[in-house]
Amino acid sequence: MKARTVIHYSQTGQLTEVLRSLCAPLTEAGITVDHMVIEPSQPFAFPWSRMRFFGAFPEAVNGDPVDLKPFAPPAANYDLVILGYTIWFLNPSIPINSFLKHPASAAILKDKPVLTVIGARNMWVHAQQKVRGLVAGLGGRVVGNILAEDRSPNMVSLVTIIRWMFYGRKDPFLVFPAAGIRAEDIAGMSRFGPVRRRTSGPWKHRSSERGTACSGSSRIKPSLLVLEKRALVLFVKYRNYILAKVARDPASRERRVSVFSVVLPIGAFILSPITALATVLLSLVKGKELAREIEELQRY
Ligand SMILES: Cc1cc2nc3c(=O)[nH]c(=O)nc-3n(C[C@H](O)[C@H](O)[C@H](O)COP(=O)(O)O)c2cc1C
């Protein structure tokens, strides 16, 4: 009998909805679907305060795990793990990173094919590389990736996500659309349907639609990739800045997080259009190189 184990953490329930939609055809096809929800011992309260949100930055970037509530290994003898995760500061969310670094996780992922499902705003490439590495370290193998993201332009989703995260409001306002992944995109997740493996070759999703995550991969937008790579370099510097004096002066962390909470959003609004323009120029000069890099990264 076929069985799937779905492992995920969702703070607001958005990723839960994505997975529910994705898994509906599996259950309808008579496949057993076990769910394992990852829960930090100290829940991350929602909506966030500014200080708590930016205060999570050093640990998210560093990949530092937190304690999790005990989780029971899935009951059924599953043949695929569906690992749903969100992105926090370009990295796998702290709860999922903690799961992938938990001593009990190897027993669940060892020798198992893993299909990753990302529910993000729009920047996930580095996180997926990290997750692939962590899964491999536990003896599992990422065989595909399905992406559910906010389709709005980067600057627009930056505004709507800030309002959503800090005030808990997803509804459209002024000229801005609703925050997060569009309802129709969540509903459309069911089109991926049950994944099946051909006799040889990679895992395939039943969908043949272009532009989304068929054949185990997801589209990478060149300008966002360039922006993400720049941000990653800066993120290491910001993390070092926030933690630089903690040993001598523990209160310095709060002060520096406060500075960072202003610098990051302003930096993002300035860097985003500059990077979009730079990417157009870059693709004229190094178009083939960029295309090759994207092709390589898109191999889930
Ligand atoms: C602390 C924090 C940092 C985030 N950073 C990113 C990011 O770097 N890239 C991105 O695409 N989304 C980012 N998001 C959005 C999440 O990936 C996710 O889409 C959103 O939090 C809703 O997920 P949920 O299902 O857990 O509620 C961030 C969210 C949080 C809470």
175-215 per-position pLDDT tens digit: 999 999 999 999 999 988 655 544 334 444 433 333 333 33
Q: Provide the domain limits for residue 30.
A: 3-220
Claim to verify: residue 58 and residue 183 sit in the same structural domain? yes
Domain termination site, one of 220, 237, 263 = 220
Q: Which of 224, 139, 143, 196 is nearest to 2 (CA)?
A: 196
Q: How far is CA 275 from CA 42, 74, 230, 294, in A?
A: 37, 44, 9, 17
Claim to verify: residue 97 and residue 178 sit in the same structural domain? yes
Q: How far is CA 28 from CA 31, 53, 108, 128, 203, in A?
A: 7, 39, 25, 29, 20
Domain termination site, one of 182, 200, 220 = 220
Can you give the pLDDT at residue 13? 98
pTM for the full predicted model: 0.91
Domain termination site, one of 181, 204, 220 = 220
Any ligand 1 atom below 6 A from CB of 164: no
Give the number of the atom of ligand 1 that is nearest the alpha carbon of residue 87: 17
| CA atoms of 42 and 207, how far apart (whole Å) | 39
In CATH, what number is assigned to the domain containing residue 45? 3.40.50.360
Claim to verify: residue 84 and residue 192 sit in the same structural domain? yes
Residue 151, both tokens: 């389709």
**CA 120 to ligand 1 centroid distance, Å:** 6
Claim to verify: residue 61 and residue 203 sit in the same structural domain? yes
Claim to verify: residue 167 and residue 44 sit in the same structural domain? yes
Can you give the pLDDT at residue 218? 65
List pLDDT tens digits, range 277-290. Answer: 888 888 777 888 88
Please name the helix (run of DSSP H) or strand (run of DSSP E) that holds residue 190, with its range, or none. Answer: none
Claim to verify: residue 109 and residue 244 sit in the same structural domain? no
**CA 27 to ligand 1 centroid distance, Å:** 28
Based on its alpha-carbon atoms, the radius of gyration of the chain, rounded to whole angstroms, reads 19
Claim to verify: residue 240 and residue 212 sit in the same structural domain? no
End-to-end Cα spacing for the chain: 27
Claim to verify: residue 124 and residue 188 sit in the same structural domain? yes
**Strand ranges, E, within the chain:** 3-8, 32-37, 80-85, 87-88, 91-92, 113-120, 141-149, 196-197, 203-204
Give the number of the atom of ligand 1 that is nearest the alpha carbon of residue 53: 1
Claim to verify: residue 208 and residue 258 sit in the same structural domain? no
Q: Which residue positions in the chain have pLDDT lower than 70?
A: 1, 193-218, 300
